[in-house]
Amino acid sequence: MPRAAEPETPVERPGAYRSRFTGALESLLAEKRFPKITIGDLVGRAHTSRRGFYEHFDSKEACLLALLQGAAETGSARVAAAVDRTAPWQTQIRQLVTAWIGVVDARPAVMLSYIRDVPLADAPITADLNHDAYVTIARAISAGDEFRESGGVPLSRVRALILFGGLEKLAEDALQHGGTVSAHIEEAVQTALLLAAS
């Protein structure tokens, strides 16, 4: 009687092992501040070893950078996809702000770490983060034909920076007080509309 075939050992896709550590870090950030998180905490939460961690990251700061970069990439893609570029400019601004707030509320620990921990970290973290992803999206949207033809004014870099800087401060205040940013969505949208209207 022929032997049954051995079940194949699943092979983790490239980057999956790294994502175990970034996922563990995000989980830990919901419980305590980044400076208090140790490599031991990370490998324990990821159910792996120190050796495995150091095969992928030089430090916990490098792991934080990977987490924040990944969050920025997926978040900015979601925001860009949420905006109907054929809609009136007011609708596009509302969709932009609503989508950004949705991204933040979905991952509050990541936003708080970005706001609180990155400014205190060494230069490699601040140097490697792309701060302009959302600014670039907002400016591209406001430069579109439909946006301009329906009465919107293209956002300058300064106005886009003010918009997202203000949204970040709103997020920081709401999240630090245990709330959600979406509780303030209408005020955020109305402020963004004012910035884009003149």
> In this predicted model, what pLDDT tens digit does every residue of 135-182 receive, in sequence order?
999 999 999 998 888 888 899 999 999 999 999 999 999 999 999 999
Domain assignment of residue 86, yes or no:
yes
Write the pLDDT tens digit of every residue in 8-27: 444 445 467 799 999 999 99
For residue 124, give the CATH number of its domain: 1.10.357
Q: Is residue 183 part of a domain?
A: yes
89-93, 129-133, 138-142: range with lowest mean pLDDT: 129-133
Domain count, the chain: 1
Q: Which domain holds residue 97?
A: 68-197
Query: Is the pLDDT confidence value at 7 over 50?
Result: no
| Lowest pLDDT segment from 3-7, 19-23, 26-30, 46-50 | 3-7
Mean predicted confidence (pLDDT) in 102-119: 92
Q: Is residue 157 part of a domain?
A: yes
39 within domain boundaries: no
- Residue 14 lies inside a defined structural domain of this protein: no
Measured CA to CA, the distance from residue 163 to residue 36 in angstroms comes to 32
Q: Is residue 26 part of a domain?
A: no
Q: Specify if 118 maps to a domain.
A: yes
Going by C-alpha positions, the residue among 29, 25, 26, 55 that lies closest to residue 39 is: 25
In a domain, 58, yes or no: no
* Distance of alpha carbon 18 from alpha carbon 64, whole angstroms: 11
